[in-house]
Each structure stands twice: as structure tokens, then as C-alpha cells.
Amino acid sequence: MMSERVKIIIEGKTFEFPVIVGSEGEKAIDIAQLRKTTGYITHDPGFGNTGCCRSAITFMDGEKGVLRYRGIPVEQLAEHSTFVETAYLLINGHLPNREQLTQMRVLLNDSSMVHEDMKFFYQNFPRNAHPMGILSAMVNALKSFYPIYDIEEEQTYTTLNLISKIRTMSAMSYRMSRGHLVIYPRPDYSYCANFLNMMFDNPVNPYKMDEDLVKALNVFWILHADHEQNCSTTAVRVVGSGKVNLYAAISAGIAALWGPLHGGANQAVIEMLTNIQKNGQSIRQVIEMAKDKKKNFRLMGFGHRVYKTYDPRAKIMKKMCDMVLGKLKKKDPLLDLAKELEEAALTDTYFIDKHLYPNVDFYSGIVLRAMGIPLNMFTVMFAIGRLPGWIAQWQEGMEDPEGKIARPRQIYTGAGLTNYIPLGER
């Protein structure tokens, strides 16, 4: 929607630019003609003030702690929906009716197996290879095993092929890293139950499915399903803007998510809590360390580029910790430590002044630990959850009438014209 215009005065000359107003009232200055009309570009490291697209998929209000997928609050989806239904919502723009949901479940089941030749890739990774590196490589390899050359067909078949297989491939990397038998997907299990079974089933001691854990896994993946233009999602859109296949674009998203400042934070939180416990550090010591720039230490799982209040996903995740641990009759000292850290941080002026609150990663690792997911698989769990969001965003980018190949500008700060000096004269 276009409405008023803004005026910018540059070197005494006035330039006007249109204002774009989003459906929730967010406003942007449309600077598409800025360089052509003024010769200037903008400078915005980390793009914190820059919109790269118009999107109808996810709405976040960082000040109010609001998160909605296609307009539906994430709290309602976590309570009433399933991950497969939420994936359908994100990708298709509306909740499925019974027939559409059944058809999606059937197609996900049909494409849940992985080409047997892919096992040779897994067998040749070093045993201690990080599952995120394996996943990024194997998703990219899917194009070679499932070549589709029709973009229409790619958007339907590849989408479901990816959503179904990412589960199988993730469980495979875990099983093969331990030298265990690969467990195949079962047609009689739901999406989440199948993943837990492929991870933990054992012919000698069959995995006992626990419906509360299946529900917890649905909620975990619903909470991770999309988050508008974060680091990895924008990576998927940028790579997709070159019109490469979807597998390659998603592989780039997995690589971006791996970083400890992004999706790798859930693993980093548990490592941080474990170190605090092992080193016998007090809560006060940790809080002071996080405030001291010289210590190069951050309270992992705290802070967010957009949320300047409690991340709505962290609230649900925190409740899930108590539910899952209670159901399993387990206690986790790291949960008690996390709650004490949160309480101390939220009453400390440094954190209050900088609007630093728990984000989705602060409690998510506790839930994964309770489910028995190994630490090095935590970010893989995030990637499986985020996949429908990446796909929806990639698709929207491909269909964007304003869409073109991503090619930002820069401000050059290097040497002026310099002549080549032959080797003998240097």
C-alpha cells in the first residue's frame, strides 16, 4: 500500500520518496530510486533498519512480543495445531481443510525414504562431523538424487520431499555417527512420532512412543517454523534470488543458521550452563561477566535484534520445560540454573536498559535434553522446524513482482588508483 511521501534534503536539494505502509501499520521509505536520483546509497550494517521485501507470511512486533504466522498468533498454533498443519499454513497462506491435510500427510509419508546411495555420503563423513555440516551438504546433494527441471513441479514435489526427508536425513546422521542401524520411517507414525522413532528405536529395546513428547516436539517445531527476515531466512531469499534450485537455497539457510549468534545459540546455551555448573560460578559472577565487554562473554539465549521484550516463544518453551520434565519425572539442574540466571538478568539495569530478554534458544535446549536429543543435534532440530518458513519465504521471493537478484552496494574505503609493481622491483 502506498500513501504519503517523505522529503530528503541533500546538498540543498529536496528529493521526495514514496512511503510504503504495511497491513499492520509499519512504514518504510521506498528508496528504490535513491541512487539514480541523488547519487547516494544508504549504509545499514546488519540491515537492522532495511526492509528487503514485502512479505505476507509472518508478522512480528518486537516491542509488544507479538508473533503471528499468516495472522494467527503463535500461541494459538502451539496450543491447537500440529507442525505439519502449521507448515501447510505458512506455505499455502491458509489452514488446510481435512482433505488437504490428509493429502499432505500422505505425500509426506510417500517421500520420507532417502535414496540408499546417500548412505555412502554419510559413511564417509568423519564420525565426529557436526550434524549441521552434514545436513547442509546432504540437502544440497538432494538435487543430484532428485533432479526436477520444471519450476512448477519443483515448488510442489520438492517442497514436500524436503520437509519429509530432512527428518529422515537428520535421524540418519545421528544414528550413523554412533555406528547404529538406520531406522526407516513408518507409514503408521505421524511426522513427529516418526522422527523420535527414527532417532531412538532399537530392535532389541523398541522405543516407547510417548504422546506428551510427540506433542512437545510438535510445539517445539511450531515455535521455530518462521521468523520473518532473520539471518538464515534472508540467506535463503538472497541465494534463491539467483534462481538456483530450492535444495541449494535451503542448504545455504542451514549453513547460516549454524552460527552461535543465530540457531547455534540453543547448543551454546547448554554449553554455557554446563560450564557455569562445572566451574562453580555464581549467578552474580556470570551476570557481571556478561556486562563486561572485556570478558568477550555473552549470556547466550538472551537478547534479540527485534524483540525488545520477552520472546513469546521463550515463554511457551519455558512452560514446556516444566511439562516435559514433569511427565518424564526428571529433574534438570540446568533448568534451575537457567531460571535463576533469568531472574537475576531481568532485575539488572544493564539488561533492562538494553532490553535483553530470554529468546527462543534460552529454554529450548532444556526441552531437547529432556527428550534425549544429543547436544550436537540441537541446531538440526531448529533447522527442521524452520524449513517450512524458509520454503514459504523462498516461494514468496520467487513470485515477488518486485523480486530481482540481490545485489547490495557498498561504500569503498580501500586504496586509490595504484599501479602494478613488477616482482623484481618490490
Q: How far is the CB of 88 from ligand SDX (least distance, A)?
A: 20
Please give the C-alpha separations between residue 159 and each of 72, 172, 284, in angstroms, as whole numbers.
Answer: 22, 20, 47
Which residues, listed in sequence order, are joined to residue 104 by a DSSP beta bridge? none
Q: In what order do the strands lie in the sheet with 2-10?
A: 2-10, 13-21, 27-29
Amino acid, res. 240 = G
Closest residue by beta carbon to ligand SDX:
303
Count CB neighbours of 188 within 10 A. 7
CA count, 13 A, side-chain hemisphere, 404? 4
Q: Which is nearer to ligand SDX, 135 or 172 (CB)?
A: 135
Catalytic residues: 304, 361
Q: How far is the CB of 316 from ligand SDX (least distance, A)?
A: 13
* Residue corresponding to grid cell 550434524: 131
Q: Which is nearer to ligand SDX, 169 or 299 (CB)?
A: 299
Q: Which is nearer to ligand SDX, 306 or 398 (CB)?
A: 306
C-alpha cell at 14: 529536496
Q: Which is nearer to ligand SDX, 138 or 314 (CB)?
A: 314
Query: Closest Cα to residue 387, out of 252, 269, 215, 266?
Result: 252
* Residue corresponding to grid cell 540408499: 116
Q: How far is the CB of 385 from ligand SDX (least distance, A)?
A: 9
DSSP for 182-208 reads: PPPP-TTS-HHHHHHHHHH--SSS---
Using CB under 6 A as the criterion, which residues of the chain lie in contact with ligand SDX when the complex forms?
46, 227, 230, 261-263, 265, 290, 298-306, 354, 356, 359-361
Q: Which is nearer to ligand SDX, 143 or 305 (CB)?
A: 305
Q: What is the dihedral of CA 311, 315, 316, 320, to 10 degrees?
A: 130
